[in-house]
Amino acid sequence: MPNRWKATAAFACAAFLAACQSAPPAPQSSIPPTTQDERPQFMQVGLASWYGPGFHGNQTADGERFNMNALTAAHRTLPFNSYVRVTDLATGRSVVVRINDRGPYAVGRVIDLSARAARDLGITADGTARVRIDQVDGRDAVVVSDRPPALAQQ
């Protein structure tokens, strides 16, 4: 019996000491916090389509009137008035557009381009194209006279 008490006492002491041990300090991050300029920009690859005559003059999701001749696009999640470069992966042609609407609503599509943007990319005949979308700085916009910004084709 005395050995049993010693074993129990030794176990109880070990358990007590283990319970009193403090947790190790949290590891400090060696990576400094990022600034707004260092955050990665949005990039997406998928199928683009276009819309135009049937919607020309209708109100877009951001409240402006849709102009099929402007370089604009509809995207499901990108903020309104953000700019993206849309590059046709088959041809390498690209255009910068401003997001002013929500969509596309067709399954499997990632962006709906205005008729002008689709024409500049050369996809109006096919109707769709596999594209890469890269968010860019709004400074890629070029102001043409007193009209809203038109965007430079790259």
Percent of the chain with pLDDT over 90: 60
The answer to whether residues 119 and 70 touch, using CB atoms and an 8 Å cutoff, is: no
The pLDDT value recorded for residue 52 is 86
Residue 150 or 24, more confident = 24
The pLDDT value recorded for residue 31 is 54
Confidence of residue 145 (pLDDT cuts 50, 70, 90): very low
Instruction: Count CB-CB contacts under 10 A for residue 69.
Output: 13
The two beta strands, 109-114 and 43-51, are parallel
Burial (Cβ within 10 Å: 0-12, 13-18, ≥19) of residue 43: exposed
- How far apart (Å, rounded) are the C-alpha atoms in residues 15 and 108? 59
- How far apart (Å, rounded) are the C-alpha atoms in residues 131 and 91? 10
Asked if residue 70 has pLDDT above 60, the reply is: yes
Task: Spell out the CATH class of 41-151.
Answer: mainly beta
The two beta strands, 109-114 and 72-74, are antiparallel
Mean pLDDT value of segment 110-127:
96
- The residue ranges of every structural domain in the chain are 41-151
